[in-house]
Amino acid sequence: MDRLCDEVIQLIFYELSDPGPLTKSSRRFHAFSQDPYIRAHYFLTRYGEEHAIYYALGRGRVINEAVLDMLLTTGAHLSRYLVQIAIHHYFHTQAHFIKTPWVRTMSLKVFVYFMHLAEKKYGEIPHGKGEDDGSMFMAFLKESRMPPASKFISWEIIKDILEKYNDPIMSQFPLILAIEPRLLPYATANGFKMDTKYRDFVFRKMFEKPLASSEIRADDIARNVRELCELDATMFVTRTVAAEICMEAKLNEPGYSALKQLDKSGHLHFELSSLVEDLLKTFLKTRSICNVATGDVLRHLYADFPSPDPAARLVVLIAVFIAAENLQQDPSIVHARLETLGVLPLTDKDLYNVLINPFVERYNVLLSYAREEVGVKEDGTKGMDAKQIRDLVEVVCMKCLEVACKGKLLKKLYDGFPSVNNAVMKRVLEKYTIKLEDVPEWDDNCLSPHYEASLCRDFVIHGVGDIHTQESLLADVDDKEQKLTVDEEEKEYSAKQGVSMPIEEQQEAGLDLGSITQESLSAMIRQDEVTPVRSRRRIYYHAYGDTGKLHYPHDPLHVGRWIKLNFGIKSSVTAVFLTHAIINENSGMLHYYFMRGDGGFSELTSSHVPVTLKHFQILARLGRAPVRFNSSYFYIFQEIECGAEFYLDEDDYISKQDIAKNLLNDAVVKKEASSSSLPPSPASRESPSSSSRGRKRPRRSVAKVRSYALDTDSEDFVMDDYGDFSTFGHSEKKVVKDSNLQQWIKHLTELCKDEERKYKEIKKRAEKAAEPGSKVRVMKTEFLKALGSNLRTLRKLEAEKRLKYFGTEDPAEYYSDDDEYTTKRIIRRRRPDPY
């Protein structure tokens, strides 16, 4: 170190946050640090010209008259406001935002010399309460929304503070720019650089709704925006701020009018009509469309900027009919409002699109309007007749089955139009019944991971799905145009959501026009003001309390919940919905299906929708079965543990008197009769139970339907079925029927073996296809791992029940009553007490 030249030592000093310890290590270093030039340039190098004096005043022990002279002569920035703050702080008057000793570490002699230099530069410096430049800035901000006659601080005073006294820019200066953009050049001369993160904040304040007593007009707002954009090329109105202004189109008329003026003069980087169109389309799947005030704004925007887009037109139709339902308006009033908006004439497809929207839960006004104004009846009069209305309701009911949150509307239509009830039940069984062979295998990586059922989706987590398809929105287009995929629609929508100009042009221009939200301008201004400045870059404005953007109604009724209430637990329709809920992992719906009617959990399976072996087979094909407490598969295994009856599939427990199943059978019989006039053969008239195949046990021949359900978990049944064992000798045997739990264990064990066999075959094929010597790892499916662990739990439960009912001594043999899995088991019973 002693051999280093002074220039290198100087560079080392500049890199240290506290050179004090280094100066004590050597006399040379100590003498080197006493040089005023070294001390002054230490602060200039580390903190820059703007902040050098501020940080130097906080190191009072190393500051003297020579260092202060050197700082001012070498370019350090000294403003009058900094001098005023230093005086207040040193004499303990005003400096509430400084929590450190700062200038109080300086000696009085040095500080007096500092005040002498400041007075020499700026003359008489006001230092009284409320006379400093910071107070003048704050007064200017407070008076910005007052009438001109009531203002005491003019913009010329702020101009002199910036131009003559070189005051540094305060954190509130973006607000000043929103009030008076002409101050920007003077602030830039003092080293101010506008951060783009304050851009939206500045323009929000520019377009803020003026007070009633204020004389600010739309022309003044538009002029200020133009001046600021001309002074700084990085300042422009984004789509985010413009959308917020549009959301206050009726409350903030000056701001909205100024925005339209800027659009006409070409000072916006986007077309306002395209912005309004994209803003309207965001309400198609959000709850905020139900708000009456929001609906008024949407109609006002559409009236100013009519859009040819069918989605934007549909949003306006939904807003009109929701408001009409809330106010119970007559069809004539609705017609006049639609005529004013220019969305007439309406078709039956428009009515269908309105009714299937997730947030439309009533239909009275809409159907009343359809009977008077939509279409033409057979007699030539205007309106829809009863048959047309019934056909419309039937189509809407079919679609509502797939929209999980439409339970309220589906229930009202089902009760109000009994003629469509049979069609709904038949549609569920015809279209949505899932067969085992229709489910893809888990080794098909293209289909199985993305496979989902159409019914019983969890709309709280996954949304309402793709409700409005391209063909439902566009009535008169070619088939090729109708077959757009969902991905293409989402890409097109997201592109319009972010920018209105092409992406390539936006990148070339270096613009970030922002995204569209549904927040109002006033709400975002309040959010900006209550948020600390340091936290603004990390704020998430819509993280808390924003329920307007939820994609399901306020108080929805799940379609699956209504199905169970309406059709019962052992209906073929309910069975279809249960299968769909299991495939879609809808835990909330399964929790309701396996509960009592009053909403509480119960171990009485008589109040539950039955679980069948088919459900496990479907899950085995999909390979899905994560074992979590909140998972849907938890409820399935819990049902078995609670004593669920064993069924192979839903046909085992559905009664022959089931209405939906009989409707489907009648339709099939009619179809076969119409397709063939030949009489049925004698073999086809025989029932499945009259087969000539021999049977091992005579009592199975009396069974008219296939059923393995026999509850043996209760103690009364066990004693009746097994008899009083005290009357039998040790060599006597009793043949009994498997309990439900034993049948579940037996069939699930066979299913587990089949899945193990498939897994080993796939692993062998992978090993043959791999290179020699390489290790091949094939993961087991989640279902196989979950089934293995749960089978152990079920076997343990079954052993505990046997121990409870039969004891551990004197085995008694019993046989399974199933031909396919005939096994021999040992049951131990207690010996009678000889005493």
Residue 367: pLDDT over 80: yes
Evaluate whether residue 62 is within a structural domain.
Answer: yes
> How far is the C-alpha of 326 from the C-alpha of 340, rounded, in Å?
20
CA atoms within 13 A on the CB side of 709: 21
What do you get for the CA distance between the two ends of the chain, in Å?
105
Q: What pLDDT, on the 0 to 100 scale, is given for residue 469?
A: 56
Evaluate whether residue 124 is within a structural domain.
Answer: yes
Indicate the range of 79-88, 255-264, 427-436 predicted with least confidence: 79-88
> How far is the C-alpha of 801 from the C-alpha of 576, rounded, in Å?
33
Q: Which residue has the tokens 């009989």?
A: 662
Neighbours of 247 (CB within 10 A): 25
Where among 74, 108, 131 does a domain terminate? 131
- Give the mean pLDDT of 46-52: 87
Where among 84, 107, 131 does a domain terminate? 131
Question: Per the structure, how many domains does the chain have?
Answer: 2
Q: What pLDDT, on the 0 to 100 scale, is given for residue 272?
A: 95
- Give the mean pLDDT of 320-327: 93
Confidence of residue 723 (pLDDT cuts 50, 70, 90): very low
Does the pTM exceed 0.85? Answer: no
Evaluate whether residue 809 is within a structural domain.
Answer: yes
Evaluate whether residue 808 is within a structural domain.
Answer: yes
Evaluate whether residue 389 is within a structural domain.
Answer: no
By residue range, what is the domain housing residue 112? 35-131
Smallest CA-to-CA distance from 829 within 712, 734, 714, 741 is with 734
Helices (H), 25-172: 27-33, 36-57, 65-73, 80-90, 108-122, 133-142, 155-163
Q: What is the mean pLDDT of the chain?
A: 78
* Total length of the chain: 835
Evaluate whether residue 99 is within a structural domain.
Answer: yes
> How far is the C-alpha of 191 from the C-alpha of 166, rounded, in Å?
10
Using a pLDDT cut of 90, give the percent of the chain over it: 36
CA atoms within 13 A on the CB side of 313: 20
pLDDT single digits (tens) 578-613: 999 999 888 888 888 887 544 444 555 567 899 999
Confidence of residue 726 (pLDDT cuts 50, 70, 90): very low
Where among 82, 105, 131 does a domain terminate? 131
pLDDT single digits (tens) 274-291: 999 999 999 998 999 999
Evaluate whether residue 148 is within a structural domain.
Answer: no
Evaluate whether residue 560 is within a structural domain.
Answer: no
CA atoms within 13 A on the CB side of 311: 20
Neighbours of 789 (CB within 10 A): 11
